[in-house]
A and B are shown apart, each in its own frame.
Chain A
Amino acid sequence: MSQSTVRDDPGDQAGNRRPWLAAAEQSGSTASGLDWLRERRTAALARADRLGLPDQSHEEWRYTSLAPFTRRWLEHLAGVRLPAAPELVPPALAGVFSVDIVDGMLCAPLLATPPGLTIQSLQTLGPEWRTQVEALLGSTVSARDDSASDSLVDLNTALLNDLILVTTEPGASVAMPIHIRLQATAASALCQTRLLVDLAAGSRLTLSLVCTGTAGVLVNAVAQIRLGRDSELNLVRVQALPDDGMLTESTSIEVNDAATVTVTSVDLGAQLSRQSLTVRLAGTGASANLNGLFLADGHRHIDNRTTLQHEAPSTISREFFRGIAADHGHGVFSGKIIVQPGAAGSNAALTNRNLLLTTTAEIDTKPELEIYVDDVRCSHGATTGQLDANALFYLQSRGLDLSAARQVLTAAFLRDSLTSIALPELRERLEALLESRLQAQTGAAS
């Protein structure tokens, strides 16, 4: 498939092994409206260049190699194109406000955004927003000294063509869900999307992000989200890249006093996908609910790393992450809870359940607790296994055949992860899509 002459050594960062330098030359001249970001971008590029892309010698990247990602990037820069493969069309939903972002750029001016909400890109962003944007851009100080992963954020800062800023007005309850469709095309060698979300005090928002793309796309997505006091965000993030797409994604969410964030994360596409999601419970009484689901079928490699950081008193986190692996799929989940000294009276629970549908599939899981204060309640647990034999027999004893019983149980397993999605139509579509994919699996296994 590849006509590239790139050597097979991801550790070699010399010469043409630094694709970002070539990419920076291409993008630096094309990006407009970035004057006041120039200094930050130059610094980010220098830092990324120094750090390089993370490799498997870093503990947090133990199970995921970015070598294929780097290789593909160099191929794209050299003009190598993959044959067209069927692309997943981003879902159009009724009753939502849709925003299309193609290769990181807002593709059409937005008219009539719902009351209480503004959506802007660099083109429309006036100087009065600078302080707010810089605060959000700076909020990706990693919770766990992930200097290796931070280079991905730096690369995004250095190479982005646009950034999207979503803000709410204080006290605004935005009734209509915002549906952002992030589409990556092969037109850019590595698509950089940058999303900033700032919820003002007391406001409420439902936001879905669905990432799709054309064959062979590479995406490096960064989202930085801040919830003001007493605000509420229901965030749905869906990764539905084509089978040969690759994604690195870094999301950080800062939750202030008495604010609540609910996140539903779904991975059902891509050849290689790595999400790093950090939630900082920074204000007293802040809470986070996180539901995750990945389906690593085919030859997918799906890696999810979550960090829930309790920084303030009486903060609450609930995390439930489910994974399904089949065929030759490989799933990775590592979930970390950190309770800092200032977070007395906090309560954290993390559960990870994984389902292996074939013996050739693999899931690696690692829940971790780091607690620096006594007065907290924390629980965590992880299991990986097959469908429950008792439940299968129960369904058979009611007349369902084995393959139907498998389907029912697998569908039930994943449906539980999707209940927190506040957009019913999106939830139903995801259920149907996942179930049809699993039907192939369970049918084949029986």
Chain B
Amino acid sequence: MAVSGLRVEVGGKEILTGLDLVVRPGEVHAIMGPNGSGKSTLAHVLSGRDGYVVTGGSVSYQCRDLLAMAPEERARAGLFLGFQYPVEIPGVSNVYLLRSALNARRAARGVSEIDAAGFLRLVKAKARLMQMDESFLQRGVNEGFSGGEKKRNEIFQMAVLEPVLAILDETDSGLDIDALKVVANGVNSLRDPARAFVLVTHYQRLLDYIRPDFVHVLAGGRIIRTGDHTLALELEADGYEQILAAASS
């Protein structure tokens, strides 16, 4: 995926002011930044959410114009968004959602629907990976889940759908240390030369468990500094202010 010069407005206010980012297969990128820097806007624009007006720049994904694709087309092309605030959908079970999602992706690739037994084996294996009780599968999507359970469910969905590019929006927020380890373990187990991750996060904590190839600092709607995983440690030690000051001087 290549993001170039991306400018985005929300409600008439420019949030992204010319953002560049290139993500290649197999890479893990962390996007860090203070509140209001545009992290979640980036995640939402890439996944196709309504209410964001692109005023400049481009995003190409697998040689296609990502911004011209509907959200479901992006998903079928292997893009996955892990929500910061996963939505509760009572009456729609987790398995139902996953089977529909999986079959939508398979149909887009011209593959026939997954058979019931194979599907069940798959979801049970992935549920074990995420240390989720099988009873969660039959429950309504995120219905009555705790904050940690919701985030775990996002990673579980990602594990079942096996995306090409996963964008995880503040997946670490609201997690206790045990849940954080489970989530990180889920991500690490999916690391693959053909799969890329963009981790959007405020804190360095998640990166103790998932070692990124690149760390980007987002401020004022664009990336002001890029480094390897040591940049996250530097941010943790010095805070955002110092880097922001250094960048503006």
Binding site for B on A (CB under 8 A): 388-391, 393-402, 404-405, 408-409, 411-413, 415-416
In the complex, the answer to whether A399 meets B76 with C-beta atoms within 8 Å is: yes
**A401 partner residues in chain B, CB cutoff 8 A:** 70, 72, 104
> Does B54 sit within 8 A of A, measured CB to CB?
no
Contact among A389, A396, A411, A416 with B72 in the assembled complex (CB-CB below 8 Å): A396
Find chain B residues with CB under 8 A from A390 CB: 87
Contact of B161 among A388, A396, A398, A400 (CB under 8 A): A398
The verdict on A397 contacting B92 (CB below 8 Å), with A388-B87, A389-B50 known, is: no
A-B interface contact total, Cβ < 8 Å: 75
CA distance A394 to B83 in the complex (A): 8
Task: Tell me the minimal C-beta distance from A184 to chain B in angstroms.
Answer: 33
Contacts of B86 in A (CB 8 A): 394
Q: Evaluate contact between B87 and A391: CB separation under 8 angstroms.
A: yes
Chain A contacts for B76, CB-based, 8 A: 399
Q: Is the CB of A398 within 8 A of B83?
A: no
| Cβ contact within 8 Å between B89 and A412 | yes
A397 to B157, CA, bound (A): 11
Find out whether the CB atom of A398 lies under 8 angstroms from the CB atom of B91. Answer: no
- Bound-state CA distance A408–B70 (Å) is 18
Given B72, B96, B140, B141, which contacts A399 in the complex, CB threshold below 8 Å?
B72
Contacting residue for B87 out of A394, A402, A415, CB 8 A = A394
- B24 contacts chain A at the CB level, 8 A cutoff: no
Residues in chain B near residue A394, CB distance under 8 A: 83, 86-87, 89, 141
Contacts A393-B49, A395-B97; A400 near B91 (Cβ below 8 A): no
B residues whose Cβ falls under 8 Å from a Cβ of A: 47-50, 70-72, 74-76, 80-81, 83, 86-87, 89-92, 96-97, 100-101, 104-105, 108, 140-141, 157, 161
The docked-state distance in angstroms from the alpha carbon of A389 to that of B76 is 20
Residues of the A chain whose Cβ atoms lie less than 8 Å from the Cβ of B90: 412, 416
Q: Check if A398 sits within 8 Å of B89, measured CB to CB.
A: no
Q: How far is the CB of B84 from chain A (nearest CB, A)?
A: 12
A-B contact pairs, 14 of them (CB 8 A): A389-B50, A394-B89, A395-B92, A396-B71, A397-B75, A398-B75, A398-B100, A398-B157, A399-B100, A399-B108, A401-B72, A405-B72, A411-B91, A412-B91
Cβ of A356 to closest chain B Cβ, rounded Å: 18
Contact yes or no, B70 A413, CB < 8 A: no
Q: Report how far A394 CA is from B101 CA in the complex, Å.
A: 11
- A49 to B183 alpha-carbon distance, docked (Å): 72
What's the Cα separation between A388 and B141 when bound, in Å? 14
CB pair B161 A397 closer than 8 Å: no
Contact at A416–B87, with CB atoms within 8 Å?
A: no
Determine the chain A residues whose CB is within 8 A of the CB of B72 once the complex forms: 396-397, 399-402, 405
Contacts of B80 in A (CB 8 A): 397
A381 to B83, CA, bound (A): 29
Which residues of the partner chain A approach B100 to less than 8 Å between Cβ atoms? 398-400, 404, 408
Contact A398 B97 (CB under 8 A): yes
Q: Which of B70, B75, B83, B161 has the most CB of A within 10 A?
A: B75
Contact flag A398-B101 (CB < 8 Å), given A393-B71, A412-B90, A413-B91 = yes
Structural contact, B161 and A393, CB atoms closer than 8 A: no
Contacts of B87 in A (CB 8 A): 388, 390-391, 394
Q: Which residue of A lies closest to B44 (CB)?
A: A393
In the complex formed, the residue of A with least CB distance to B83 is A394
**Nearest-Cβ distance from residue A407 to partner chain B, whole angstroms:** 10
How long is the Cα–Cα vector from A295 to B49 in the complex, in angstroms?
30
A393 surroundings in chain B (CB, below 8 A): 49-50, 71
Query: Which of A395, A399, A405 has the most C-beta atoms of chain B within 10 angstroms of its own C-beta?
Result: A399
Task: Contacts A393-B50, A398-B97, A399-B105 given; indicate if A415 touches B91 (C-beta within 8 A).
Answer: yes
Task: Give the Cβ gap from B160 to chain A, nearest Cβ, in Å.
Answer: 10
> Nearest 8 pairs between A and B by C-beta?
A412-B91, A399-B104, A399-B75, A398-B101, A396-B71, A394-B87, A412-B92, A399-B101
A402–B49 Cα distance when bound, in Å, is: 13
Closest Cβ neighbor of A415 among chain B residues: B91
Residue of A nearest to B92 (CB): A412
Chain B residues contacting A397 (CB-CB under 8 Å) are 47-49, 71-72, 74-75, 80-81, 83
Across-interface contacts of B70 in A (CB, < 8 A): 396, 401-402
Q: How far is the CA of A396 from the CA of B141 in the complex (A)?
A: 14
A409 pairs with B104, CB closer than 8 A: no
CB closest chain-B residue, reference A390: B87
List chain B residues, Cβ under 8 A from A409: 89, 92
CA distance A18 to B71 in the complex (A): 61
Contact B92 A396 (CB under 8 A): no
CA distance A398 to B81 in the complex (A): 8
Whole-angstrom CA separation of A409 from B88 in the bound complex: 11
How far apart are A404's CB and chain B's nearest CB, in angstroms?
A: 7
Q: Report the Cα distance A238→B101, complex, angstroms.
A: 34
Inter-chain contact A396/B83, CB cutoff 8 Å: no
Interchain CA distance A367-B86 in the complex, whole Å: 31
Chain B nearest CB, measured from A275 CB (Å): 24
In the complex, A408 Cα to B105 Cα: how many Å? 17
Given contacts A389-B50, A396-B48, A397-B81, contact A416 B91 (CB under 8 A): yes
Contacts of B105 in A (CB 8 A): 399
Given contacts A398-B161, A399-B101, 13 further A-B contacts (CB under 8 A): A393-B49, A394-B87, A396-B48, A397-B80, A397-B83, A398-B100, A398-B157, A399-B104, A408-B100, A411-B91, A412-B89, A412-B140, A416-B90
**A49 to chain B: closest CB distance in Å?**
48
Known: A389-B50, A394-B83. A400 touches B89 (CB 8 A): no
Smallest CB gap from B97: residue in A = A398
Q: Are A391 and B89 in contact (CB under 8 A)?
A: yes
